[in-house]
Amino acid sequence: MLPYMTAGLPTPSHSVELFTAMANAGADGFEVGIPYADPLMDGPTIQAAGDRALEAGSGVRVGLDILEEVVSTAGKPSVVMTYVNPILRMGIDDFADRVATAGGSAVIIADLPVDEAEVFTAAFNRRGIGLVLFIAPTTTEERLERVVGANPPFIYCIADLGVTGQRATASDHIEELVARVRQKTDTPIVAGVGISSPEQANVAARVADGVIVGSALVREVLDASDAAGAAAALYSAVAAYAAAVRRTSTN
Amino acid sequence: MRLERPDTRGRFAGFGGQFAPETLMPALEELESEFAKAWADPEFHAELDALLRDYVGRPTPVYRAARLSDQFGLELYLKREDLAHTGAHKINNTMGQALLTQRMGKSRVIAETGAGQHGVATATACALLGQECVVYMGEKDIERQALNVHRMRMLGTEVRAVTSGAGTLKDAVSAAMRDWVASVADTHYIIGSVVGPHPFPWIVRELQKVIGEELQSQMSGKEPNRPRPDMVVACVGGGSNAMGIFYPYVGSDVELVGVEAAGYGLETGQHGASLVAGSPGVIHGSMTYLLQDDQGQILEAHSISAGLDYPGVGPEHAYFKEAGLVRYESITDDEAVAAVHLLAATEGIIPALESAHGLAWIAKEAGNLQGKVVVLNLSGRGDKDVEQITGPDE
């Protein structure tokens, strides 16, 4: 069970507390989100979270500092989730250096398809970091083969069409999609996008190796009145997701 | 050197590309191959050309602005895109892309709009072809371009207000892209300028270059001894009208000048001049010049003109800038408003605030252009801006 959380919520100085609470509740690892003002792949919840974190002084540098603290205090494998422009602005090599020194294990870039990935993969791999690539319900067989051929550390299966956010019903794409990827590779698969209830996480966990839950958790933080309240709400939410995911784990 | 087509990775030298979520990539690949097929198909051209002639009113005239020419001491011609149906060049693109939507078997269209001109042009094409249409528009732009909102609704389009960010064009593009990520199976996104991930910048340029191609043949009738103008000037927001009129002249001896929005002044940081004052990065799926902070966050642009109020620019313009093929300048809000009044008073034409940036630059630079043949792309009419410029109750 892999929670996504925007780095810098509710404030940069209280951000690590939230990750610690989620680790205590049974999270297996983290997706640490770099706040971005124009997140094309994100729905209203993560947009609002990014705006709030940026206002509170977060950004790519603060976000990577938070990553470092999360890795050292929670001791869970953590990946960075970002958009491409903050990396380019920092410089791909400088960014990769910083992720490596912070202890991040991989990077997910929402607006970077395999077609543009080569230079990023090369810079990351030189430092022992992986670049995660996506498969969507729309991905063709030819593209799937290119993604597999690029040798990502894991493949992010986009469980549902559309941007991140909560959905009333579970995706009916995920089983078929994961099965398609399994035919081509043994690379681990995580499922994300639109998974917003323990029941939906349960469905995804039956087929995927990991389940990412983002907007539903971020919503808890946005609705909380202070950091302690946010940590408490996250603890119970993540515990419920983690239980649902373990209940269905067969491996 | 002019590039006929971007390379296989959708790049104009280093600019362009496809920085888009995987969900959209198959649709972008399909769009590239469908457009390439359509563009090589004489039947597609025959259908589009007939619509452009009989429905849009092309070719648009080239008019010698006699009084202004005398005042400036040069030969000023206006390429009258404001006389195209719906009042701007935007319809050249929307007609082509709406026909392409039909060919691809998609039934729904989405678009973004800033000034509302692209929204109206999309709504018009969709009404004509019986397509469902949704236009995303920032709430600030809905307020300052109310006339165009009414027009779109009358044409049967749903206008969706975008409240994120500053509520302007950047936010409308992002909202349209998010819709497309969910709806891509049955929906085509008719992007309004030479921006976005490949193949959009190429498609929109191909559909807009009719402006420059017409101008080439029209000028030999106007100035038989000087069939090539000395200079062509156009405003640049995303850059589609400039691309359309420049493209046939790129690499020739005709000087090309793109005029961006300096807003309150470049020194204030409140402007839309991404080429003049920005730096390279990725916005809306494309590597290009943009306005950004030192952490790579895209900044809000500012311009009195909603169509130029955008922190990015088409990637081929970024290429033109770096290759030295086009000169880029900027004009403030106040200078643009003065140019609207100038053209209205001397030639009886009320230009769009966007196009007025080009005229303002010519007026300012006239001392250095004595005796030259200068063409301004009058990309749109200004009815939409009258209330904003004069106040509501005049």
Going residue by residue through chain B, which has 394 residues, state the pLDDT in tens, using 9 for 90 and above. Answer: 889 999 989 999 999 999 999 999 999 999 999 999 999 999 999 999 999 999 999 999 999 999 999 999 999 999 999 999 999 999 999 999 999 999 999 999 999 999 899 999 999 999 999 999 999 999 999 998 999 999 999 999 999 999 988 899 999 999 999 999 999 999 999 999 999 999 999 999 999 999 999 999 999 999 888 899 999 999 999 999 999 999 999 999 999 999 999 999 999 999 999 999 999 999 999 999 999 999 999 999 999 999 999 999 999 999 999 999 999 999 999 999 999 999 999 999 999 999 999 999 999 999 999 999 999 999 999 999 998 898 755 4
Chain A neighbors of B295, CB-CB under 8 A? 59-61, 86, 89-90
* Spatial separation of the C-alpha atoms in residues A137 and B48, rounded to whole Å: 34
Quote the CA–CA distance of B369 and A151 in Å, as a whole number.
58
- Angle of helix A60-74 relative to helix A92-102, nearest 10 degrees, comes to 20
pLDDT of B43? 98
Q: Do A59 and B284 touch (CB under 8 A)?
A: no
Question: In terms of Cα–Cα distance, which of A76, A22, A58 is closest to A217?
Answer: A22
In this prediction, residues A140-147 reach a mean pLDDT of 97
Q: What distances in angstroms separate CA B159 from CA A39, A41, B96, B112, B129, one per listed residue?
A: 22, 22, 21, 9, 18
Quote the pLDDT of residue B392. 59
Instruction: Answer yes or no: are the C-beta atoms of B374 and B76 closer than 8 Å.
Output: yes
Q: What are phi and psi of B283, to 5 degrees?
A: -135, 135
Shortest CA distance to A240 belongs to which of A190, A197, A192, A191?
A197
Nearest CA distance, B315 vs chain A (angstrom): 15
In this predicted structure, the answer to whether residue A229 has a pLDDT above a threshold of 70 is: yes
- Average pLDDT of chain A, as a whole number: 95
pLDDT of residue B252: 96
Residue A250's pLDDT is: 52
With an 8 Å Cβ cutoff, is B20 touching chain A?
Answer: yes
Give the Cα separation of B357 and B329 in Å (integer): 10
* pLDDT per residue as tens digits for the range A52-99: 999 999 999 999 999 999 999 999 999 999 999 999 999 999 999 999
The H or E element containing residue B149 is: helix B146-154
Distance from CA of A202 to the nearest CA of B (A): 23
Question: Taking the CA of residue B273 as centre, how many other CA atoms within 13 Å lie in the half-sphere pointing to its CB?
Answer: 24
CB B184 to CB A163 under 8 A?
Answer: no
User: Which residue do the tokens 């890795």 mark?
Assistant: A71
- Judge: A158–B23 Cβ closer than 8 Å, yes or no: yes
pTM of the model: 0.96
The residues facing B157 across adjacent strands are none
Residues of chain B in contact with residue A12, where contact means CB-CB under 8 angstroms, are: none
Backbone region of residue A57 per phi and psi (left: phi > 0; alpha: psi in -120 to 50; beta: other values): left
For residues B262-289, b (16+ Cβ closer than 10 Å) or e, as one string?
bbbebeeebbbbbbbbbebbbbbbbbbb
Contact yes or no for A89 and B294 at CB 8 A: yes
Q: How confident is the model at residue A168 (pLDDT cuts 50, 70, 90)?
A: confident
Q: Residue A108: beta bridge partners?
A: A81, A132
Report yes or no: B233 and B379 within 8 Å, Cβ to Cβ.
no
Minimal Cβ distance to B178: which of A36, A136, A163: A163
Distance from CA of A50 to the nearest CA of B (A): 11
What DSSP line would sit under B279-296, residue for residue?
A: EEEEETTEEEEE-B-TTS
Torsion angle in degrees (nearest 10) through CA of B90, B95, B101, B102: 160
- CB under 8 Å to B56, separation ≥6 — which residues? B84, B85, B91, B92, B95
Nearest one of B334, B329, B311, B328 to B264, comparing CA atoms: B334
Q: Which helix (H) or strand (E) holds A33?
A: strand A30-33
Strand partners, B330: B260
Chain A nearest-CA residue for B185:
A138
Contact A111 B19 (CB under 8 A): yes
Q: Do A136 and B165 touch (CB under 8 A)?
A: no
**Number of A–B residue contacts, CB under 8 Å:** 122
Whether residues B283 and A38 touch (CB distance < 8 A) is answered with: yes
Whether residue B379 lies in the annotated active site? yes
Determine the Cα–Cα distance for residues A112 and A84; give it in Å rounded to an integer: 7
Q: Quick check: is B300 catalytic?
A: no
Question: Max alpha carbon distance in chain B (Å)?
Answer: 56
Distance from CA of B179 to the nearest CA of A (A): 7
Instruction: Respond yes or no on whether the N-terminal peptide bond of residue B227 is cis (omega within 30° of 0).
Output: no
Torsion of CA B29, B30, B32, B35, to 10 degrees: 180
DSSP B47-64: HHHHHIIIII-PSPPEEE
Q: Using CA atoms, how far apart are residues B246 and B256, in angstroms rounded to an integer?
A: 7
| Strand pairing category for A30-33 and A78-82 | parallel
Q: Is B292 exposed, middle or buried (0-12, 13-18, 19+ CB in 10 A)?
A: buried
Q: What is the pLDDT of residue B394?
A: 46
Q: Annotated catalytic residue: which of B79, B90, B140, B372?
A: B90
B374 close to B229: Cβ distance less than 8 angstroms = yes
Give the per-residue pLDDT at B387: 87
Give the residue numbers of A marked as catalytic: 31, 42
- The residue of chain B with its CA nearest to that of A114 is B22
Inter-chain CB proximity A110 and B21 less than 8 Å: yes
Q: Does the CB of B269 have a partner CB in chain A at under 8 Å?
A: no
Task: Give backbone dihedrals phi and psi of B96, rounded to 5 degrees, phi first.
Answer: -65, -45
Instruction: With cut-offs at 50, 70 and 90, classify the pLDDT of residue A29.
Output: very high
Q: Does B14 touch chain A (CB under 8 A)?
A: no
Mean pLDDT, rounded, for A153-176: 89
Measured CA to CA, the distance from residue A114 to residue B183 in angstroms comes to: 22
Q: Which residues in chain B belong to E strands, given as ranges?
A: 11-12, 15-16, 62-64, 75-80, 108-113, 132-138, 158-162, 187-189, 231-235, 255-263, 279-283, 286-290, 327-332, 373-378
Three-class SS of residue A165?
coil
Residue B51 CA: distances (Å) to CA of A187, B83, B101: 52, 15, 15
Active-site annotation holds for B112: yes
Distance separating alpha carbons of residues B387 and A79, to the nearest angstrom = 51
CA-to-CA distance for B215 and B248, rounded, in angstroms? 9
Contacts of B392 (CB under 8 A, 6+ apart): none
- The three-point CA angle A14-A19-A22 to 5° equals 130
Which stretches of chain A sit within 8 Å of chain B by CB?
36-38, 40-44, 47, 51, 54, 59-61, 83-90, 110-116, 133-140, 143, 158, 161-163
* Position A251 pLDDT exceeds 70: no
Distance from CA of B171 to the nearest CA of A (A): 8
Q: What is the 3-state secondary structure (H, E, C) of B211-279?
A: HHHHHHHHHHHHCCCCCCCCEEEEECCCCHHHHHHHHHHCCCCCEEEEEEEEECCHHHCCCCCHHHHCE
* Torsional class of A158: left (φ above 0), alpha (ψ -120 to 50), beta (otherwise): beta
Which positions ≥6 away from B150 have C-beta within 8 Å? none
CA dihedral for B125, B236, B112, B382, sign (positive or negative): negative
How are strands ordered across the β-sheet holding B286-290?
Answer: B11-12, B15-16, B286-290, B279-283
Mean pLDDT in residue range A17-46: 97
The ipTM value here is: 0.95
Domains of chain A: 2-249 (3.20.20.70)
Q: Which residues pair with B63 in a beta bridge?
A: B78
